[in-house]
Amino acid sequence: MQISELKKDSRKVSVQGVIIEASEPRTVNYRAGGQGQVMKCILQDASGTIEFNVWNEDIPHVKKDSIISLEDGYVTIFGDKLQLNRGRYGKMTVQ
């Protein structure tokens, strides 16, 4: 699947791309209580770009220019931007 084909509420998304931007991780509070770390990235393939949220234990493996393969991810919308997420059941491979 290409990034340009992703839509709000897409599920079981499989894409591959390159991280072209990666923010510094920040601490966030979960709605259900507790805290975690999130790093906002921009993932790019030949068709376009999308915001990609990297959470907790995945953060040390991802940096600018990393090649990411994501299976069973999902897409949400925050503000007016689509965001790609690995989620609990998704699988991410970093090259």
pLDDT tens sequence across 15-52:
999 999 999 999 999 999 999 999 999 999 999 999 99
CATH 3.40.228.10 fits 3-94, yes or no: no
Residue partners of 34: CB distance under 8 A and separation at least 6: none
Q: How confident is the model at residue 87 (pLDDT cuts 50, 70, 90)?
A: confident
Q: What residues does each domain of the chain span? A: 3-94
Q: Is the pLDDT of residue 85 over 90?
A: yes
Average pLDDT score over the chain = 95
> Is residue 82 a contact partner of residue 48, using CB atoms and an 8 Å limit?
no
